[in-house]
Amino acid sequence: MCPEPNLSRQQGAGLPVAIFIITVLALIVTSMAQQQESSGAAVSQQILSQRAFYAAESGAQAAVTEVLHEGGCGSVPSSLDFTQAGLKNCSARLECSSVQADIDGDSNPETVFTLISEGQCGSGAEETSRTVEVRVR
């Protein structure tokens, strides 16, 4: 016959160790989930920022075309709204100014146009904007 174990004298650390390990693993998983969420938000913001840059660049190119082919700042629209797939829900706000400058040293001053295009994408807290400045003569 085997002697019966005295349950009151048995001691063990198995349950506290298991609870501790489960708690530590839960904390690690929670922190990884938060990091993944913030990383996803950063990528989304970066994509919106890149789209805003392309909207500003497209607005500047349209303004350069208007200035060079139409002959002045009066032909540059104040804003452009994009409907194409890549820039949908983006816009560009345009500004144009001109000065007369003697660039090449002769007696005839030339007109130098400064075009500022601010591209905006998104709305609310997700809104981003980028600015492009171009000078042409």
Say how far apart CA 113 and CA 98 lie, in whole Å: 4
pLDDT at 57 over 90: yes
pTM of the model: 0.69
Residue whose C-alpha is closest to residue 55's, from 3, 120, 127: 120
Say how far apart CA 17 and CA 114 lie, in whole Å: 70
pLDDT at 1 over 60: no
pLDDT at 95 over 70: yes
* DSSP one-letter code for 2: P
Q: Specify the length of the chain in residues.
A: 137
Choose the most confident range, by mean pLDDT, from 3-7, 8-12, 50-54, 66-70: 50-54
pLDDT tens per residue, range 62-93: 999 999 888 788 888 888 998 888 888 899 99
Say how far apart CA 107 and CA 83 lie, in whole Å: 46
